[in-house]
Amino acid sequence: MSDIDTLLQKIYILGTGTAVSSTDLVWLRSLLGAEGKDYARVRLEIDTYMANLEASRSPTSLFKELALNGVGVVISDAEAQALLTELAGAGLDTWGEIFLYVAGQMKNEYTGILNNRAEAAKEFLELLESASKSNFYQGAATVNAVRTLLQNTGGSDQSLAAAKAGFAALAAKLEEGSITGSVVDGYVAGATVFIDSNKNGRLDDGEWTTETDADGNYSLPADTPPGNIIAFGGRDILTDKPFLGVLTAPAGITVINPLTTLVQSLIDNGKAGTVEEATSKVAQALAIPGTVNLLTFDPLVLLGGEESPDESVETQQARAEAFDVYNKALQVATVITQTANAINGQNGTDSLKQAAGSVIDALADAIERSAGQGGTLNLTDLSTVTEIVRSAASKPQSENAVVSAQAGEVAKVITGSNAAKEEATTVRDLAKAATVAQGDATQSLITSSSNNDFTTSVENFTGAALDEAIDEADPDLLTPDVTLREDGGANPVTPPAPAPQPPAPTFLVAESDGAVTFDGSATGSITMTVNASGTATFGRQGVTASTTVSDVYNKQLDVAASTQLNVNVTGTSSDDTFRIDAPNAGAISFSGDAGAGVDEFVIKVDDTQGGFDQRELKVVTTGVSDGETLGFYPVLTDGYKTLENSRSRLANRRRIRGL
């Protein structure tokens, strides 16, 4: 991406909070004119855009949004007005001038944030283009996911690394018309996932909802309205037990897990003004490296990979980091699940969600306290967890006097479970501890809650009794394709025999009497690569035909109307004419280097005399360098010659003409 493209990306982020798409980037470039210097048109477009917003919002409100979009700063109305006044005093009295100053000239402690956001957005577009997914970047859910990831990008090198990792994860999960997401405690199959549009924490009529599949995945339609994502219910495939917790995540994010749940709670409770502040507080509290993107990181992807004695040091370190992050996530999940079920007892799902919400809020309070003290949150510490349990049981929406009074007893079960995880050195040990914590220990707390006495739970799930229960635990699948070995590692499950593969495609080219025809089972576009002497080779669906065709610019190509012809040219230092006679082709795309000289691309358009004829032909020239003229011939004979939607972006275009 050029310096101009980076500037345009910054301008777009300032105005919208999200990354510019490839299509809109082309449009923004066009505003700059042929020489790329017509900033007056850019300023005018910005002024027009902001004037439309000012019809319903004040300038101070818009400037506050600009500050949040660009540099992640939350400012007051008074601060926004003061900054607008200061900018106007410096001669920056229009939105266009302000945008161009902030994006291109501002140098202060916030500059690195906007630079990193533009850099991350640039890499996202490149990832989409390399995966042929550029057209997938559309729809409210997709745009909101990009906006959330940009809001999570700060000014440090670590934050940029985390942002790039997050966008790589999003690009991998982006499909045509949808985003693939996962619910992860272990992977949770059959979980109910919904968009909490009205932010009441409950699934209401009219709110979008779905269930995760057997692998713990769900598909979020790209046009889904914005809102926090909530998941509950289902079966944890790691423990093979019902999932008794509640998890949340910001809008559009690809992973719903205990850590995204804490991030969302800090935002909802006003303990973090931005997404980046929320993730930073969670990472600090749990001692998670800043390079880990909490909104997209799925540690089970690494932990489920096949281990090898020849692994690089970097891979071993990444696996160790994933183990530590998953350990912390499971500890958070244990606090949420065991405390919420102790409070809720045998009441229904709605009250369990309310209880879980109270626990999550109490955890957010504890994270805020630890952040204020510059320390970490130890979820194996009895006094720390006791305070979290007591706080959750005292909140109005889930008040439980018995649990509040016996918070220390409930906390003994939780800290015992978390200490076992803390001591785990293998994936299997961690999974065994999680199986007991999320299964039998939680069920015991539910029963104890109904009896108003947690003594039995403490007896059965602390100390030696807990150790024995963990020793006997038999966790199921780490991931849908990976089982756990007795030696503590993970092995891929033996896959079923592969399905029979279809025969390899064939592609045949024949030439007769000046006409070139195509045959075979290969489908899709046809690529014609022409050397400087005019000899062409042809390829289709990865198959290169054995026949070459000389003097191809004077031959007729029998390309079907449903097929695109991709022409890669090589020019000479003289004047060249690249003539394509493909009367039926539905689209023609040029690429390559036309070379020096005055070069002409000519496309033959057939017409029969009499009556009115219409033919639609898409011609793309963005991949060509050093071409000058794009022409269509012959002149139509009935006076109806019309070229509609003709567009050429040849590097040195002079004219588009009918010959």
Both 330 and 412 in one domain: the answer is: yes
Tokens standing for residue 203: 């699934």
Both 447 and 531 in one domain: the answer is: no
Last residue of a domain, one of 438, 458, 492: 492
Which pLDDT does position 501 carry in this prediction? 61
Q: Which residue has the higher pLDDT, 441 or 651?
A: 441
Both 217 and 333 in one domain: the answer is: yes
Within a domain: 503: no
Region 153-164: mean pLDDT is 92
Percent of the chain with pLDDT over 70: 86
Both 621 and 635 in one domain: the answer is: yes
Per residue, what are the HEC states of 304-357? CCCCCCCCCHHHHHHHHHHHHHHHHHHHHHHHHHHHHHHHHCCCCHHHHHHHHH
Buried b (16+ CB within 10 A) or exposed e, 282-306: bbbbbebebbbbbbbbbbbebbbbe
Binning pLDDT at 50, 70 and 90, where does residue 637 land?
very low
Binning pLDDT at 50, 70 and 90, where does residue 246 land?
confident
Last residue of a domain, one of 457, 492, 527: 492
Within a domain: 412: yes
37-58 pLDDT tens trace: 888 999 999 999 999 999 999 9
Both 219 and 354 in one domain: the answer is: yes
- Interatomic CA distance for residues 368 and 104, integer angstroms: 36
Within a domain: 649: yes
Both 132 and 184 in one domain: the answer is: no
Within a domain: 399: yes
What pTM did the predictor assign?
0.70
Residue 91 pLDDT exceeds 80: yes
Tokens standing for residue 458: 């403490």
Both 134 and 216 in one domain: the answer is: no
Structural domain including 584 reads 508-658
- The sheet carrying 490-492 orders its strands as 477-479, 482-484, 490-492
Residue 530 pLDDT exceeds 50: yes
275-331 pLDDT tens trace: 999 999 999 999 998 889 999 998 888 887 666 667 788 888 888 888 899 999 999
Within a domain: 317: yes
Binning pLDDT at 50, 70 and 90, where does residue 493 land?
very low
Both 540 and 567 in one domain: the answer is: yes
Percent of the chain with pLDDT over 90: 56
Tokens standing for residue 195: 């968009």
Helix (H) or strand (E) holding 369: helix 349-372
Residue 123 pLDDT exceeds 70: yes
- Interatomic CA distance for residues 239 and 432, integer angstroms: 8
Which pLDDT does position 614 carry in this prediction? 52
Region 338-366: mean pLDDT is 87
- Interatomic CA distance for residues 209 and 194, integer angstroms: 4
Residues written for the chain: 659
Which pLDDT does position 308 carry in this prediction? 66
Which pLDDT does position 648 carry in this prediction? 42
- Interatomic CA distance for residues 308 and 318, integer angstroms: 14
- Interatomic CA distance for residues 606 and 269, integer angstroms: 68
Both 183 and 263 in one domain: the answer is: yes
Q: Cβ(251)–Cβ(148) under 8 Å?
A: yes
Q: Cα separations (Å) of 486 from 44, 374, 482?
A: 67, 40, 13
- Interatomic CA distance for residues 278 and 285, integer angstroms: 11
- Enumerate residues 6+ apart whose C-beta is below 8 A from 172: none
Calculate the average pLDDT of the chain: 85
Which pLDDT does position 641 carry in this prediction? 39
The number of distinct structural domains making up the chain is: 3
Query: Nearest 5°: phi and psi at 586?
Result: -85, -25
Strands 515-519 and 556-557: parallel
Both 416 and 531 in one domain: the answer is: no
Both 169 and 181 in one domain: the answer is: no
Both 181 and 205 in one domain: the answer is: yes
**Which amino acid is it at 171?**
A
- Interatomic CA distance for residues 561 and 286, integer angstroms: 60
* Count of CA atoms in the C-beta half-sphere (13 A) of 153: 32
DSSP state of 554: G
Last residue of a domain, one of 155, 174, 193: 174
101-116 pLDDT tens trace: 999 888 888 899 999 9
Instruction: Name which of 21-25, 62-66, 122-126, 238-242 the model is least confident about.
Output: 238-242
Within a domain: 77: yes
Q: Cα 639 vs. chain centroid, distance in angstroms?
A: 52
Q: Cα 389 vs. chain centroid, distance in angstroms?
A: 35
Q: Which residue has the higher pLDDT, 427 or 259?
A: 259
Residue 659 pLDDT exceeds 50: no
Q: Cα separations (Å) of 553 from 87, 463, 569, 572, 638?
A: 60, 84, 11, 14, 27
